[in-house]
Amino acid sequence: MTISDPLADRLLKSAARQSYDPEVDIDWEAEVLPGLHYMVPERLSLWGTPTYDRLTPEQQIELSKHEIGSVASVGLWFEIILMQMLLRDVYRSDPRSERTHFELTEIADECRHSLMFGKALGRLGVPAYGPPPLIHRFAPIYPTISRGAAAYASILIGEEPVDRLQRELMHDERVQPIVRQVSRIHVIEEARHVSFARDELQKAVRQMSRAERVFAQTVTAQGAFIMMRSLINPQVYASVGLDPREARKVALGNEHYRATIAWMGEKVMPFLEECDMVGGPRNRRAWRASFLLP
Ligand SMILES: [Fe+2]
Ligand SMILES: [Fe+2]
């Protein structure tokens, strides 16, 4: 007998109606169009600075290609970790339950997303930048140390801010169609994942001890800092002849970029506050350093 779960049932029906195969649903052969950006220019890390203004229009477009490439490569890396977290959960779960069925469906979604991002990086001709080497090396322990609230709050930090960026991107006619197509597919399928993770987080926080709550708050705040700092790999700046260290410094001091990250966090942060996942002054320092909290 199937073990029912109303939310999982609804999400499974949505997945049956709207799922995409990047192999066939994206025209990988389509030409990139001259003069179009690869990201909303105002969301670039250097936008609004003299360093950005000194670049030629061609260099600004080139930089936008590398920045979206960096975001996609970090998204892909995050998805691989996320699939491991979900698989560990599935391993302990009843295969007859709709909740497990949805987790398996989400793993399948993420698997296709990683394939889609990997193909997009190849098509754009940019490196798979990924997160900093140390983070890349130690991140695989994450699925073993975090479960429940810590896991689902971190998942929301990985999914919601980038989702906000992609929702805007997919509507912007100044952006290359191929980037808009990839973003659109991702946004449609991510909506299910966000609903599921929010529900799991709400359930988890109801059953938590005080010690577990403090642990989850700390892990999430540190994870958010790492995630937001990793999105733009400093090596992207070398693609337009800028010194990565110098340009990184300019980006982190750029009020427009800080405002962009705060905007990316505008949906998820109130929800995390509501779930009491943001924590006290020490954690708030990490949240502010991530720029998700202004
Ligand atoms: Fe995804
Ligand atoms: Fe997802």
Q: What tens digit of pLDDT does each residue of 77-101 get?
A: 999 999 999 999 999 999 999 999 9
Tokens read off for 55: 């670049």
pLDDT digits (tens, 9 = 90+) for 49-88: 999 999 999 999 999 999 999 999 999 999 999 999 999 9
239: CA distance to ligand 2 center in Å?
29
| Centroid of ligand 1 to alpha carbon of 53 (angstroms) | 33
pLDDT for the residue numbered 37: 98
pLDDT band at 215 (very low <50, low <70, confident <90, very high): very high
CA of 109 to the centre of ligand 1 (A): 7
Query: What value does the mean pLDDT of the chain take?
Result: 96
Q: Quick one: pLDDT band at residue 1, thresholds 50, 70, 90?
A: confident
Distance 91 CA to ligand 2 centre (A): 19
Is 213's pLDDT higher than 90? yes
**Ligand 2 centre distance from Cα of residue 174 (Å):** 26
Q: Residue 88 Cα, ligand 1 centroid: separation in angstroms?
A: 18
Distance CA 282, CA 286 (A): 7
The ligand minimizing its distance to the Cα of 106 is 2
- pLDDT at 145 > cutoff 90: no
What separation in Å is there between the alpha carbon of 79 and the centre of ligand 2? Answer: 7
Cβ neighbour number for residue 72 with a 10 Å cutoff: 27
Angle 177-206/148-169 helices, nearest 10 degrees? 150
Specify the CATH number of the domain 6-13+41-290: 1.10.620.20
The Cβ of residue 134 has, within 10 Å, a number of other Cβ atoms equal to 9
Q: How confident is the model at residue 28 (pLDDT cuts 50, 70, 90)?
A: very high
Please tell me the distance from the alpha carbon of residue 85 to that of residue 158, in angstroms, as a whole number.
13
187 CA from centroid of ligand 2 (Å): 9
Q: How far is the CA of 117 from the centre of ligand 1 (A)?
A: 9
In this prediction, residue 144 carries a pLDDT of 86
Phi-psi region of 291 (alpha: psi -120 to 50; beta: other; left: phi over 0): left
CA 186 vs CA 75, 170, 172, 280: distances in Å: 11, 10, 16, 34
pTM above 0.85, yes or no: yes
Measure 35 CA to ligand 2 centroid, in angstroms. 31
Rounded (10°) CA dihedral 161, 166, 172, 178? 150
Distance separating alpha carbons of residues 243 and 241, to the nearest angstrom: 7
> According to the 3-state scheme, what is the secondary structure of the chain?
CCECCHHHHHHHHHHHHCCCCHHHHCCCCCCCCCCCECCCHHHCCCCCCHHHHCCCHHHHHHHHHHHHHHHHHHHHHHHHHHHHHHHHHHHHCCCCEHHHHHHHHHHHHHHHHHHHHHHHHHHHCCCCCCCCHHHHHHHHHHHHHCCHHHHHHHHHHHHHHHHHHHHHHCCCCCECHHHHHHHHHHHHHHHHHHHHHHHHHHHHHHCCCHHHHHHHHHHHHHHHHHHHHHCCCHHHHHHHCCCHHHHHHHHHCCHHHHHHHHHHCCCHHHHHHHCCCCCCHHHHHHHHHHCCCC
pLDDT band at 154 (very low <50, low <70, confident <90, very high): very high
Cα distance between residue 269 and residue 253, in whole Å = 22
What pLDDT digit, counting tens, does each position of 262-271 carry? 999 999 999 9
Cβ < 5 A residues, ion ligand 1: 110, 113
User: If you average pLDDT over each of 20-24, 106-110, 142-146, which comes out highest?
Assistant: 106-110
